[in-house]
Amino acid sequence: MSVQEIIRQDTTGEKLVKLAEEKGQQLSRSLKRTQIRGIFTEARRIEAQWQTLGEDKAMRRLNMLKPKLHYQAKRNPDVEPLRALLVEVIDEVAQGKQGKDRLDRFERFMELFEAILAYHRFYGGS
C-alpha cells in the first residue's frame, strides 16, 4: 500500500488505518508522545490556518513543516520513520489541484497523523 493510494484513492479509510497502526506500533517502541505531539500540534495549527487564512498560506506553512521534521530527525534518529512518511504525505498534498482536491488530501493527511498518534498511545508509547 502506497501513500499515493491512501491520499488519492482510499475512500473507505481502511488502508489509512492499516498504515497508521503499523507506524503507530513501530513508533511506540522508540518515540515519546511529546515528540510526536509537538509535530502534531503544528499540523493542527496549519489546519486552523487553512480554515481562516486560506489554502495558500496554509500550504506554505505545511511545506515549512518539512525542514522542521528534518531537524527533529537529525536531533533524534528515532523520528526518521515519522519524518519520512509525513514528508511523503505533504508532497502528495502539494501535488493536488488547488481547491477541493488539495483540501481533501490535507484532510487525509490529518486523519493519518491523528490515527498514528492514537495507535502510538494504544501500543504503549509513553
Mean pLDDT of all residues in 5-16 = 89
Count structural domains, the chain: 1
What is this structure's pTM? 0.93
Give the pLDDT of residue 6.
86
CA torsion angle 124 33 106 73 (round to 10) = -110
Say whether pLDDT at 10 is over 90.
no
* 16-25 b/e (C-beta count within 10 Å ≥ 16 → b): bbebbbebbb
Per residue in 84-113, pLDDT (tens digit) is 999 999 999 999 999 999 999 999 999 999
In a domain, 81, yes or no: yes
In a domain, 28, yes or no: yes
- 91: domain range? 13-122
Give the pLDDT of residue 9.
83
What are the φ and ψ backbone dihedral angles of 125, each rounded to 5 degrees?
Answer: -60, 130
Give the pLDDT of residue 126.
78
In a domain, 77, yes or no: yes
- How many C-beta atoms surround the C-beta of residue 75 within 10 A? 10
